[in-house]
Amino acid sequence: MPVTITAVLAKLNMPIVDQAIILAEYGNLDPDIWQDELELIAMALNTQQPPMGPAPQCDPWRQMWLEMYVNNRPVKDAILEVEKSMNPDLQLAIQGAISAMAQKLGTNYQRLKIGSRFTASRAKRLGNPLMNPPDPKFQEQLEDILTPVKGVSAGTRLANAESFLLTWLDDNGKFIRTPEAELYYLWHDKHRLFELDTEVWHAWLHELTGVNPASTGFAVLSNACKTAAILNSEIKQVVRLAYYDTNTKVLWVSRFDGKVYCLDGDTITERDNGDGPVIFDDLHIWEPYQPNFIDMTDAMEIVAEIPNWEKRKHSWAYKVWTQSLFFNELCPTKPIMVLLGERGSGKSMALRLLLRLLFGQWSQVSGVPNKPDDFSVTASHYHLYAMDNLDTLEPWLQDKLARISTGAMDEYRKLYTSKDMGILKYRCWIAVTARTPDILRRDDLADRLLLLPLNRVPDDDRKRESLFLQEIDELRSAWWGDLLTSLNSVVKQLQEGDLPATSTLRMADWEALGRLMSEQADKIDLWEEIVVDLKLAQTNFLADGEVVIEAIDAWLNTFTYPATLTSNVGRWVTARDLYTEAQTLLFNGNKPDSDWPRSVKAFSRRLLNIKSILESRYGMKIQESRTRALEYWFDHK
């Protein structure tokens, strides 16, 4: 049974440490029931409605249910009240499990299905529609329309109900269709956006109409909404967290409660979601913030100095990367932030505190996904995807990370259809922690990494994680005030001049933005140092895991002709001779490793891929021989 519980938690991509803590406390419970009831609580968090049906059997879900129904607490308050009685480690682990399940349900692959029907268990977790209907009078009138009447067919009643519902939705909001053909509904009263076909949308539609999602009538109403969205909707881009309008040079930032901030370089004004050029789709677990513009206390600087950086200058690189999250449109290529360090260096905590400041206490660091589809769907929904312990080699993950860092799109065939295609558009930024991230040692990934090493935190300086996060929560308002003020200054700088046109880094757009931020903050000299360090770190990182460089290093440190003491340094050599001699030296005549090139042609391609490294390390030169074959020269070892 504990193995099954472990499998449940592993599917949520939770950090291994949190899995062990939950397993120790609840490993003796029925895993199927425990998982089903976790889904109930997680969906209640998403919809802010207590779940339907009888009380859960397993703790801590039963306790949370009782807080909702017996003590009449709101969903979030009920969950937090039960967590207060737990030890700090279990409290964080349970909160992580609820958050992970809520995110999974919110980004579930089920949303890609067309025409899927509700099961009884799915309907059960969609919440109690009688708690707080948006329009009680509308619900009563709809019920009258659907009540059987002699002489009125069921088809006529459903048609009348469709018309009545669509009229209400048109009067109280509007349907939205994105350029990628995703369908949404914007509810004007709360300025809240719902993605159609998700469980959160169905829960709200359930609450609005009072019609059970498992019934035929609900399927008719839901499909009518989809048809209306396809045929009669406003085309508008839907984004998360922030949007920089390159035409007006204005930055828009969501507050996660139907309000957004408009930053025009001079002022920061509060607007309604939907008033700007885009509409924000906030994950329902994100907690609204109230920025403190009066007492900001250099909060961003305080947070950037918290991680135990190997080099203090990395705190500015971290701060630049954090601000870059808000300028997606200026960074088509996004650097992957990699926090490197041994166990106890606080690298996971550095990511956790950033997520907590941005999105609130329900946003958690994820484990590494097991399947490509899970990764794709999650990445297409997130603005910041933070993964813990990226040390496992998953070949498919290399390709996914490369595509996401360049803002690519993926197509998929919608389930239960034969022709309809969907598009997953990636706007997310990625941050990871790792000790030995061999998976990232690929030439098209290494030069897109922001490598930030951390030192181990001294035992005397360690603070209990729950107390540390509590202090971060208290700093959140000041941090957001400081952040928005700083972002507005960057907007002003962007309005006054264009970004630099060139860069020494492959991720030139981000480096140019970082340079502008550094100029605005009077830290341009520090930025120049960071760029030099970063380029060297990328080169060394790729070289440390490259078997071809290891072979060339061995070849350069060997005399090919011992009798005459002729060194390989300063000798023109063809790719074929270099391939044969280096392979013999490195593997001593044994079968080469799997990552060694299988042919001279493949070897030559690898040399070209790492040309810049070989030039800087060994002074490599290339010339064309009389036979037009390439020859290589290494100036030093």
Average pLDDT across the chain, whole number? 84
Model pLDDT for residues 66-76, shown as the tens digit of each residue: 999 888 888 89
Using pLDDT thresholds of 50, 70 and 90, give the confidence band for residue 471: confident
Structural fold of domain 299-543: Rossmann fold (3.40.50)
pLDDT (0 to 100) of residue 357: 95
HSE-up of residue 111 (Cα within 13 Å, Cβ side): 27
pLDDT (0 to 100) of residue 279: 95
DSSP one-letter string for 574-635:
EHHHHHHHHHHHHHTTSPPPTTS-SSHHHHHHHHHHTHHHHHHHH--EEEE-TTS-EEEE--
Q: What angle do CA 193, 195, 200 make, to 5 degrees?
A: 90
**Rg, Å, the chain Cα set:** 28
CATH of 547-633, one of 1.10.10, 3.40.50, 1.10.8, 1.20.1050: 1.10.10
Candidates 195, 166, 201, 189; CA nearest to 273 is 189
Tell me the C-alpha distance between 212 and 124, whole Å.
9
Q: Is the pLDDT of residue 197 over 50?
A: yes
One-letter amino acid for residue 270 of the chain: E
Candidates 151, 144, 279, 131; CA nearest to 206 is 131
Three-class SS of residue 274?
coil
Using pLDDT thresholds of 50, 70 and 90, give the confidence band for residue 465: low
Candidates 97, 88, 89; CA nearest to 61 is 97
Asked which of 394-398, 404-408, 487-491, 496-500 is least confident by mean pLDDT, the reply is: 404-408
Q: What is the mean pLDDT of residues 396-404?
A: 79
Asked which of 69-78, 417-426, 438-447 is least confident by mean pLDDT, the reply is: 417-426
| pTM, rounded to two decimals | 0.81
pLDDT (0 to 100) of residue 410: 65
Query: How is residue 32 written in tokens?
Result: 């199927």
Nearest 5°: phi and psi at 482? -65, -40
Helix (H) or strand (E) holding 185: strand 183-187
- Cα 526 to the chain's mean position, in Å? 29
Tell me the C-alpha distance between 211 and 556, whole Å.
76
Three-class SS of residue 450?
strand
Tell me the C-alpha distance between 354 and 348, whole Å.
10
User: Where along the chain do the CATH 1.10.10 domains lie?
Assistant: 547-633
Q: What angle do CA 586, 588, 592 make, to 5 degrees?
A: 65
CB 469 within 8 A of CB 364: no
Query: How is residue 128 written in tokens?
Result: 């109690």
CB 596 within 8 A of CB 604: no
pLDDT (0 to 100) of residue 110: 41
Higher pLDDT among residues 625 and 479, named by residue: 479
pLDDT (0 to 100) of residue 529: 92
Model pLDDT for residues 70-112, shown as the tens digit of each residue: 888 888 999 999 998 898 888 888 988 898 888 777 765 444 4
Q: What is the mean pLDDT of residues 229-247?
A: 93
Distances (CA, A) of 403 to 335, 369, 384: 12, 16, 15
Q: E strands, 460-617, where?
A: 559-561, 566-567, 573-574
Beta strand 238-239 with 279-280: parallel, antiparallel or unpaired?
A: parallel
Nearest 5°: phi and psi at 334? -110, 125
Q: What is the dihedral of CA 591, 597, 598, 601, to 10 degrees?
A: -150
Candidates 198, 165, 168, 172; CA nearest to 186 is 172
Tell me the C-alpha distance between 41 and 57, whole Å.
13
Higher pLDDT among residues 409 and 83, named by residue: 83
For tokens 């901030």, the residue is 261
Distances (CA, A) of 456 to 304, 336, 345, 468: 17, 22, 4, 17
Tell me the C-alpha distance between 356 and 624, whole Å.
56
Strand order in the sheet with 234-235: 192-195, 183-187, 173-177, 234-235
One-letter amino acid for residue 233 of the chain: S
Candidates 74, 1, 69, 67; CA nearest to 35 is 1
Candidates 517, 535, 500, 532; CA nearest to 324 is 517
User: Where along the chain do the CATH 3.40.50 domains lie?
Assistant: 299-543
Q: What is the mean pLDDT of residues 450-461?
A: 81
Model pLDDT for residues 285-340, shown as the tens digit of each residue: 899 999 999 987 789 998 888 888 988 999 999 999 999 999 999 998 889 999 98
Asked which of 161-165, 390-394, 451-455, 484-488 is least confident by mean pLDDT, the reply is: 390-394
Q: What is the mean pLDDT of residues 433-446?
A: 75
Using pLDDT thresholds of 50, 70 and 90, give the confidence band for residue 264: very high
DSSP one-letter string for 119-177:
-HHHHHTT--TTS--S-HHHHHHHHHHHS--TT--HHHHHHHHHHHHHHHHHHHEEEEE
Query: How is residue 187 written in tokens?
Result: 């509810």
Q: Is the pLDDT of residue 565 over 60?
A: no
DSSP one-letter string for 40-95:
HHHHHHHHTSPPPSSPPSSTTHHHHHHHHHTS---HHHHHHHHHHTS-HHHHHHHH
pLDDT (0 to 100) of residue 173: 95
CB 333 within 8 A of CB 247: no
For tokens 């590494």, the residue is 368
Tell me the C-alpha distance between 108 and 153, whole Å.
37
For tokens 């009798």, the residue is 563
Strand order in the sheet with 573-574: 573-574, 630-633, 621-624
pLDDT (0 to 100) of residue 114: 35
Q: Is the pLDDT of residue 184 over 50?
A: yes
Candidates 514, 354, 368, 356; CA nearest to 434 is 368
Nearest 5°: phi and psi at 580? -70, -45
CB 232 within 8 A of CB 420: no
pLDDT (0 to 100) of residue 122: 57
Candidates 627, 441, 411; CA nearest to 550 is 441
Q: What angle do CA 62, 64, 66 make, to 5 degrees?
A: 70
pLDDT (0 to 100) of residue 49: 81
